[in-house]
Each structure stands twice: as C-alpha cells, then as structure tokens.
Amino acid sequence: MKSFCKIALIGFLTSFALGQDPAKKTIEEKKPEKSLSAKEATVIVSTSLGEIHIELDSKSAPITVENFVAIAKSGYYDGTIFHRVINGFMVQGGGLNADMSNKSSGTAPIQNEANNGLTNDRGTVAMARTMEPHSATGQFFVNHKDNGFLNHTGENSQGWGYAVFGKVTEGIEVVEKMRAVKTSFKNGMADVPTQTITIKSMSRAK
C-alpha cells in the first residue's frame, strides 16, 4: 500500500497540471468580503450517475469556498467531466470537457488553504493543483479513502498538501459508482473512465 501511495502521488501531482491556465500567474490572496450564509453551505453536484451533496466549510477554507461557489454560479462546471478515477484513492473532475479538451476557469490561482486543519479523509472534497502549491483554480477531487499523505505538513513546496474545503454529506454511493467504473488511457492521460461521467449542473441546496 505504501508503494501504491508513492506512485499515486507522483501521478496525482502530474495530472493536476491539466486544466490550469498558464496565463493566470497571480495568486488570489484577498479575503472574501463575507462568509457564505448557512443556506449557501451545501452544493448539489448533479452528475450522470446521480447527485452528490457537498457541505462547504467557509469557516476553515474561506478563499477556496468563495472561489468554488463563484465558479459554480458562473455555470463553468456544467458539462465538464470526472476525467480521472483511481479506485481506492479519489475521483477528480471539473477541468475537462467531454472530448477531453481542457476548460479554463478563467480565474486566477488561489492561496492554498491546506494548513486549515482539515484532512483528506474519505468523503472529503479538496482542490486539485499542479506541483506549485498555490496553483489551484477550478479542478477538485473527492477522496475515496483516507489519504493522509495529501495533508499539509509544512509551508514549503513538499509539505503544503491539498486544501480540503468540504465533505460529501449525501451521495457517497455515487462516488462508489464512479470509483468502480473501468478506466483506460485516453489522449495521453491515464485513469480516464471509459464511461463518460458528466457534471450536469451545480446548485445550492434549498
């Protein structure tokens, strides 16, 4: 299992370079003007395999949550896919179209908030990024198991980790469906589902 984690981490970091806009170099470090209200705290991700309810943690990850909600409200995620699935690890989406072309969020990279005390446990949702710690824009992933090696250990390039900003409160069975799909290589990428898993829409729970 340890060797798997090391191999997965290398692939994880490399794959996360996809979907990021190289022209967006400025890190968004401003604090959100206001926290999300309780009614805005849960986002429903409607997928081709069912709905996933994500409870956002604006208190622990205010910058990340504000960014995620703004992108979701813009309709950016509609039609994007879960393009990377590793059984027993995570499912990743939010940055590619169904034809596997990259879709830029058009937003600047945000400050990595992985030092907020939240950990990459099963069912938590975190931001994807490149090897650069503060490079996350729109891609995110749902942890399929406890992935402690993705947690923050220090404010340096090796230790920043991946910022958790929410957790699945309903629809974990949909994540289970995702992790069970067959995968293959496609357009030079590994772990791509052979069955297209589409994000139909994102909306706030009533």
Enter the pTM of the model: 0.83
In a domain, 31, yes or no: no
For residue 80, give its domain range.
Answer: 2-22+37-204
170 in any annotated domain: yes
66 within domain boundaries: yes
156 phi/psi in degrees, rounded to 5: -145, 170
Query: Domain for residue 46, yes or no?
Result: yes
Cα distance between residue 32 and residue 13, in whole Å: 27
Total number of domains in the chain: 1
CA 160 – CA 182 distance, rounded (Å): 31
Q: Does residue 147 fall inside a structural domain?
A: yes
Query: Which CATH number belongs to the domain containing residue 195 in this structure?
Result: 2.40.100.10
Rounded CA separation 18/20 (Å)? 6
Each residue's pLDDT tens digit in the chain (206 positions)?
A: 433 343 344 344 434 443 344 334 444 444 443 444 444 589 999 999 999 999 999 999 999 999 999 999 999 999 999 999 999 999 999 999 999 999 999 999 999 999 999 999 999 999 999 999 999 999 999 999 999 999 999 999 999 999 999 999 999 999 999 999 999 999 999 999 999 999 999 999 86
Q: Does residue 107 belong to any structural domain of this protein?
A: yes
Q: Is residue 61 part of a domain?
A: yes
In a domain, 137, yes or no: yes
